[in-house]
Amino acid sequence: MTSPMHTGERDIMPHHIGIQRVHGYCGLCRAACGTVATVDNGRFARLEPDPSHPTGQALCAKGRAAPELVYHPERLTHPLRLPAAAETVKIHSTATPSPSR
């Protein structure tokens, strides 16, 4: 059930051995569907609907893809904008300027 880790990747619950089922909700859209996350040896492995939750009768494709999003090698893990006094980081060539600047 586990997949290989990428460079710089870390376990979500590194001190837990075995399989845990963690009840919660999905935050990938407005519906906040009830979920049960499967954590296998500290690694988020699967997200399933929680039938005991009022909105947990089903889970969309985004929710089911949550483990892939967490462990994607190109996932942003730090902010891209630095304070004005520091060097600037190019976010993307089509990025729009922030209205606060």
CATH number of the domain at 40, please. Answer: 2.20.25.90
Whether residue 88 is contained in a domain is answered as no
Whether residue 37 is contained in a domain is answered as yes
Mean pLDDT for all residues in the chain? 77
Whether residue 66 is contained in a domain is answered as yes
pLDDT confidence of residue 78: 79
Give the global pTM.
Answer: 0.59
Total structural domains within the chain: 1
pLDDT confidence of residue 81: 72
- When pLDDT is cut at 50, 70 and 90, the band that residue 34 belongs to is very high
User: The domain containing residue 39 runs over which residues?
Assistant: 19-70
Tell me which of 1 and 71 has the higher pLDDT: 71
DSSP codes, the chain: ---PPPTT---SSTT--SEEEEEEE--SSTT--EEEEEEETTEEEEEEE-TTSTT-S---HHHHTHHHHHT-TT---S-SPPPTTS------TTPPPPTT-
44-86 confidence digits (pLDDT tens): 899 999 999 888 888 889 999 998 988 888 888 877 776 665 5
